[in-house]
Amino acid sequence: MKSLDQTCLNYAVSALRGAINMYHHYREKGYSEDKSIEIAVKYMWGVIASSGVLTNPRLREKFLFNLAIIENLLPKVRGLISLASSMRGSEEIREGQPHD
pLDDT tens-digit profile of 42-98? 999 999 999 999 999 999 999 999 999 999 999 999 999 999 988 877 666 566 555
pLDDT of residue 91: 67
Which contiguous run of DSSP H or E holds residue 80?
Answer: helix 57-96
Cα distances (angstroms) measured from residue 7 to each of 2, 40, 51, 53: 6, 22, 9, 10
- pLDDT surpassing 60 at residue 99: no
pLDDT of residue 89: 73
Strands (E), 1-100: none
**How far apart are the C-alpha atoms of 100 and 86, rounded to whole Å?**
24
